Chains A and B, each alone.
Chain A
């Protein structure tokens, strides 16, 4: 079987399963708004774990992560391995806190919690931050995945054509199956992603005869890869700390993750999913380490997509085809959830705007997703250096909103004035200005994102403590 035929065969099987899962999701939804937007609010362990896993790990994990090991060496383990284990602990704590927060409330989205705590100003800041940082992030993923497909698939489909195919497929199954359909498709995509990366890692290990020999070969070829800060000097202590904070805070700063944790069925799901996630993440990162170190000694390439493209071309046609589908899956599994979360949050942020327009919320969310698909396509095809900076710094950008969102989750039944949303919006604006070079990226030897997050967190804690003191005084007076 040649490469073209193998790709078409695997792609057709994959598409058939994807659409079938979306249709199953659609049937279970029975046209109900709550089912469509929140999958009925009762997510089980297996689907919950797979959707969380696939949504968190975008194309970065299949293309970026092995390439990071290839270019920056073993210090990448500190950036991803240590960080992801800490993320799992934070996820466990957060999901238990979310359970307490949303118990006996009609939970629809994070915007609702923010509105309760900060009125509509908090919601406005939150949605604005999401749109600014998530759209470029999605666009860059689509660009990366479509670039590899255009380069490796032996048919004359241009990059923009692949971008349209990815976005169309995503829109199709999202609008058919709603959140439930997305989570079913994510589960499939999570399995494909994990399988693909381990198949490639096994082949590499088989070629080299073990990880020890691989490390030996790296020591001879590029010894700087075996220590920090790596050959390019990127993995400095401050860089690693900034990466650690922005990744650990993802479950609270990215709505697609927070909403999944919010709709888990019960306590058992909340306890098991972080552990399952950490276990599979550990294995995934080991595979990425193996592939990356192999790339360092055997695959010269200028970029991540070029490296993965060459690696795929080394495989036999069927494995290569599965790997390409894995890239497609990775691009879609994060973006679909981000689009859907944006649609839900915008609908709720506008005070269930769909009702005012006399349009069903389902139709409204589908429309919002369509608009963001088109916007992402335009941004992906026209991406400038500024857009790339926004995408790369997207996690830190959304992390700046984490103190505000955490306050909304932890302070049930309390309302705050505008100080926290105002501080959040100022920190977002300063951070954006630094990305575009209008404000220095370093102040007194410290990264500006770390300074902003520290100030933001300190002010938030201060405001919360003052509010608690006020409430206690009022309570004492009353009694």
Chain B
């Protein structure tokens, strides 16, 4: 995958993850269930999405080295 396509992939993936975080899957109105590790739904789901974007960031960083 060339640099341009790679960045399209990362951009679309981050966009989808961010978009999901604005849906009732992550922020259901007034709902706290189900709890996970003692944390309410919005919090653990939000943490999960943040970590997923972080993983994408690390991948983007690792694959942007060949521009050297």
Residue numbers of A with Cβ under 8 A of B are: 74-75, 77-78, 81-86, 88-89, 92-93, 96, 211-212, 215-216, 219, 223-224, 226-229, 235, 237, 240-241, 244, 267, 271-272, 274-275, 278-279, 282, 289
B60 touches A92 (CB 8 A): yes
A-B contact pairs, 8 of them (CB 8 A): A81-B46, A81-B47, A85-B50, A89-B10, A93-B10, A212-B39, A223-B32, A278-B57
A318 to B67 alpha-carbon distance, docked (Å): 49
What residues of chain B lie closer than 8 Å to A267, measured between beta carbons?
64-65, 67-68
Residue numbers of B with Cβ under 8 A of A are: 7, 10-11, 14, 17-18, 21-22, 26-32, 37-43, 46-47, 49-50, 53-54, 56-58, 60-61, 64-65, 67-68
What residues of chain A lie closer than 8 Å to B18, measured between beta carbons?
82-83, 86, 244
What residues of chain A lie closer than 8 Å to B10, measured between beta carbons?
89, 93
What residues of chain B lie closer than 8 Å to A282, measured between beta carbons?
50, 54
A78 to B41 alpha-carbon distance, docked (Å): 12
Q: Which 8 A-B pairs have the closest CB atoms?
A: A212-B38, A85-B53, A77-B46, A226-B40, A228-B27, A74-B43, A81-B50, A226-B32
B61 touches A272 (CB 8 A): yes
What residues of chain B lie closer than 8 Å to A84, measured between beta carbons?
50
Kindly provide the distance from the CB of B28 to the nearest chain A CB, expressed in whole angstroms. 7
Kindly provide the distance from the CB of A328 to the nearest chain B CB, expressed in whole angstroms. 29
What residues of chain B lie closer than 8 Å to A219, measured between beta carbons?
32, 40
What residues of chain B lie closer than 8 Å to A237, measured between beta carbons?
22, 27
- Residue with the highest number of chain A CB atoms closer than 10 Å, among B28, B49, B50: B50
B64 touches A92 (CB 8 A): yes
B32 touches A227 (CB 8 A): yes
A82 touches B50 (CB 8 A): yes
B61 touches A271 (CB 8 A): yes
What residues of chain B lie closer than 8 Å to A89, measured between beta carbons?
10-11, 14, 53, 56-57, 60
What residues of chain B lie closer than 8 Å to A223, measured between beta carbons?
32
What residues of chain A lie closer than 8 Å to B58, measured between beta carbons?
275
Kindly provide the distance from the CB of B50 to the nearest chain A CB, expressed in whole angstroms. 4
What residues of chain B lie closer than 8 Å to A241, measured between beta carbons?
22
What residues of chain B lie closer than 8 Å to A240, measured between beta carbons?
21-22, 27
A89 to B61 alpha-carbon distance, docked (Å): 9
A200 to B43 alpha-carbon distance, docked (Å): 21
